[in-house]
Amino acid sequence: MITVALVGTGNISRFHIEAYCAFPERCKIVALCDISEKCMEVKERYNLTEAEVFYSHTAMLSAMNGRIDLVDICTPPFCHAHIAIDCLNAGCNVVVEKPMAASLEECDAMLDAEKQSGKMLACIAQNRFRDQFAALKKAVDSGLIGRVLHVQVDSLWWRGLSYYDLWWRGTWKSEGGGCTLNHAVHHIDMLIWMLGMPEKVTAVLANTAHNNAEVEDISVAILQYPQGTLAQITSSVVHHGEEQQIIFQGEKARVSVPWKVHASVAAPNGFPKQEHDESLERKLNEFVNVAPMPYTVHKGELENILTALEQKIPPFITGADGRNTLELISAIYKSGASSATVKLPLGKDDPFYTVKGIMAAVPHFYEKSASLADFSGEITTGRNL
């Protein structure tokens, strides 16, 4: 039985608690920690009678000494790193919500703590546990679409003005960035999973509609890969309808999520024929016509983490994956802030390696004009497929 502690019992913690509660024979929530009374509310709402409640993670670690196998961190981004490091140093395995941290320096300190402690560090990127994205990955890996020429990543979300009124959102210091870091992180993780890291990034950042936030509400980035592939990422919280998509264009076919395949055939003059390469389209469609995953999104990823702990194997999404995502996002911020093309990787001497360096270099679009301690209401976590 894996014992689990949750640190941060706000909006997203619901998805985590419901996932753990789905596997009562494999895990048990033994501690809940928050700096507010929300941990007590959560304990009551989910009837977690055996969970002890704490108001600081350090108090939790000393009181629960040796009785926690896995700490699940669902706090705002600025405190992911120090909480994760304290938990790893106390001998606990850790899973941290996205984004892994607010800087590469913090990610490296977390990875060092993982290595020193011999414990596991996993990072949430739950969208890899969706049938269509798994099918897209298989289709790209199969090579059937030929060389990848272009990838279009539309990480399109919509958030009203009040979104940035929550106390930790909308500042570089506590949110760590805007929609590129906190929303597009999902699609950027998947792009790297499918295509790897680019060589160069050129980006523009703007805040077009949220005059109560320091951070960007839209960014457009062009990525160049060593093999000549171009990718473009639009990260946004100003897109009505949130029509998120990832489209791979290969030499032989297009394949995308939401799922669509198309394999053009050239007429002698180079224009597309009416008929497609139906045989190739059929083969590509086979990737999506398979049995659905038993567990998806947060439940899928947390089940994988339970399996990793039970079998003493690495989780599917590691701290190194979380770091890669943050490195590409840091490069987008660097390019946007400097109006220049940025080469990857970013070294330890790069200003964008540290929170201090990022904060000194990025544009502060507007002053944050409101700070609410809490919001009630439902949250959503992306396009339903």
Ligand X SMILES: NC(=O)c1ccc[n+]([C@@H]2O[C@H](COP(=O)([O-])OP(=O)(O)OC[C@H]3O[C@@H](n4cnc5c(N)ncnc54)[C@H](O)[C@@H]3O)[C@@H](O)[C@H]2O)c1
Stretch that binds ligand X, among 4-12, 41-49, 215-223, 337-345 (CB under 6 A): 4-12
Q: How far is the CB of 116 from ligand X (least distance, A)?
A: 22
- To 10 degrees, the CA torsion angle through 367, 181, 347, 199? -130
Residue number of the CB closest to ligand X reads 10
**33 sits near ligand X (criterion: CB under 6 A):** yes
Of the candidates 169, 167, 186, the residue with the CA atom closest to the CA atom of residue 178: 169
Size of the site for ligand X (CB under 6 A): 24
Judged by beta carbon, residue 253 or residue 306, the one nearer ligand X is: 306
The sign of the torsion formed by the CA atoms of 375, 376, 377, 379 equals: positive
Site for ligand X in 269-298 (CB under 6 A): none
**9 sits near ligand X (criterion: CB under 6 A):** yes
Q: How far is the CB of 220 from ligand X (least distance, A)?
A: 22
Q: Which of 4, 5, 6, 8 binds ligand X (CB under 6 A)?
A: 8
Q: How far is the CB of 81 from ligand X (least distance, A)?
A: 11
Stretch that binds ligand X, among 69-77, 115-123, 145-153, 154-162 (CB under 6 A): 69-77
Q: Which of 26, 28, 38, 276 binds ligand X (CB under 6 A)?
A: 38
**79 sits near ligand X (criterion: CB under 6 A):** yes
Judged by beta carbon, residue 284 or residue 305, the one nearer ligand X is: 305
Judged by beta carbon, residue 202 or residue 304, the one nearer ligand X is: 304
Q: Which of 48, 124, 213, 218 binds ligand X (CB under 6 A)?
A: 124
Site string for ligand X, 154-193 (x = CB under 6 A): ----------------------------x-----------
**381 sits near ligand X (criterion: CB under 6 A):** yes
Stretch that binds ligand X, among 27-35, 108-116, 275-283, 309-317 (CB under 6 A): 27-35
Q: How far is the CB of 76 from ligand X (least distance, A)?
A: 5
Stretch that binds ligand X, among 3-11, 234-242, 279-287, 342-350 (CB under 6 A): 3-11
Q: How far is the CB of 217 from ligand X (least distance, A)?
A: 16
**57 sits near ligand X (criterion: CB under 6 A):** yes
In angstroms, the CA 101 to CA 94 distance is 13
SS (H, E, C) the chain: CEEEEEECCCCCHHHHHHHHHCCCCCEEEEEEECCCCHHHHHHHHCCCCCCEEECCHHHHHHHCCCCCCEEEECCCHHHHHHHHHHHHHCCCEEEECCCCCCCHHHHHHHHHHHHHHCCCEEECCHHHHCHHHHHHHHHHHHCCCCCEEEEEEEEECECCHHHHHECCCCCCCCCCCCHHHHCCHHHHHHHHHHHCCCCEEEEEEECCCCCCCCCCCEEEEEEECCCCCEEEEEEECECCCCCCEEEEEECCCEEEECCEEECCCECCCCCECCCCCHHHHHHHHCCCCCCCCCCCHHHHHHHHHHHHHHHCCCCCCEHHHHHHHHHHHHHHHHHHHHCCCEECCCCCCCHHHCHHHHHHHCCCCCCCCCCECCCCCCCCCCCCC
Q: How far is the CB of 28 from ligand X (least distance, A)?
A: 20
Judged by beta carbon, residue 145 or residue 181, the one nearer ligand X is: 181
Contact (CB, 8 A) for 29 and 4? yes
**97 sits near ligand X (criterion: CB under 6 A):** yes
In angstroms, the CA 366 to CA 285 distance is 46
Q: How far is the CB of 98 from ligand X (least distance, A)?
A: 5
Contact (CB, 8 A) for 39 and 10? no
Q: Which of 5, 20, 30, 34 binds ligand X (CB under 6 A)?
A: 34
Q: How far is the CB of 57 from ligand X (least distance, A)?
A: 5
**219 sits near ligand X (criterion: CB under 6 A):** no
Binding site for ligand X (CB under 6 A): 7-12, 33-36, 38, 57, 74-77, 79, 97-98, 124, 126, 182, 379, 381
